[in-house]
Chains A and B, each alone.
Chain A
Amino acid sequence: MIDINLLSKKYGEQTVLDIDLLNIPSGQTFGLVGNNGAGKTTLFSLILDLIEPTTGVVKNNEVVVSKDERWKTHTAAFVDEQFLIGYLTPEEYFYFVGGLRNMKKDAVDAALEPYKDFFHGEVLGQKKYIRDLSKGNQKKVGIVGTLLSNTPLVILDEPFANLDPTTQIRLKKLLKEEASATGKTFLISSHDLQHITDVCDRIVVLNKGKIVRDEKTSSKTLKELEAFFQEQP
Chain B
Amino acid sequence: MFKKLIYLQWKSFFRAAGVATKLAQKILIGFGWVYLAFVFTGLAFFAFFGVQDDLGLDPLPTVSGLLVYAFVLWVVIRYFIQKMPMVHVQPLLTLPIPKKNIVRFGLIKSLISFFNIVNLFFFIPFGVILLREDYSLWGVISWWVSIGCVILATNFLNVLLNSQDKLLLIVASVLLGLFGLQYFELFDITAFSEPVFMAPYHQPLWALVPMVLMLLSYRWSFRHFLRKLYMDSDQMRPKNEVQRATELKWLDGFGRTSFFLKNDIRLIVRNKRARMAVWMGFAFLFYGLIFMMDIYSGAVWQVFIGIFVSGGFLFSFGQFVPSWDSGYYPLMMTQNVPYREYLKSKWWLVVAGTLVSLPLASFYLFFDWEIYLAILVGGVYNIGVNAHMVLLSGAYTKTPIDLNSMQRAFGDKKSFNVKTLLLSIPKIILPMFIFYIGVLVHSKLMGFILIGIVGILGFALRNLVFGWIEKVYQEEKYQTLAAYKQKNT
Contacts and interface: CB of A to CB of B under 8 A. Distances in A.
A50 B330 contact: yes
Nearest to B242: A127
A2 interface: no
B297 interface: no
Interface in B250-272: 256, 259, 262-263, 266-267, 270-271
B14 to A, nearest CB: 17
A190 to B, nearest CB: 20
A interface bracket (residues with beta carbon within 8 Å of B): 20 to 34
Interface string B208-243: 000000000000000000000000000001011101
B271 A87 contact: yes
A49 B329 CA distance: 13
A22 interface: no
Interface in A88-112: 88-89, 92, 96-97, 99-101
A97 B331 CA distance: 9
A82 B327 contact: yes
A72 B327 CA distance: 20
A52 interface: yes
Nearest to A83: B331
Interface stretch (A128-136, A172-180, A196-204): A128-136
A69 B336 CA distance: 8
Interface in B319-370: 327-331, 333-338
B259 A87 contact: no
Contacts of A83: 328, 330-331, 334
**Chain B interface, >50% SS class:** helix
Contact of A48 (B239, B256, B334, B337): B334
Given A51-B478, A72-B336, A72-B337, A89 B331 contact: no
B336 A100 contact: yes
A92 B246 CA distance: 8
Given A127-B240, A132-B237, A85 B327 contact: yes
Interface centre among A48, A69, A96, A131 (most CB of B within 10 A): A131
A86 B485 CA distance: 16
A75 interface: yes
A89 to B, nearest CB: 7
B481 interface: yes
B209 to A, nearest CB: 46
Nearest to A97: B335
Contacts of A89: 243, 246
Contacts of A72: 334-337
Given A48-B334, A83-B330, 10 more contacts: A50-B478, A72-B336, A75-B334, A82-B327, A82-B330, A82-B331, A83-B328, A87-B267, A99-B256, A132-B237
15 contacts: A50-B333, A50-B334, A51-B482, A76-B334, A79-B330, A83-B328, A83-B334, A85-B327, A85-B328, A87-B271, A100-B335, A127-B243, A129-B241, A131-B403, A132-B241
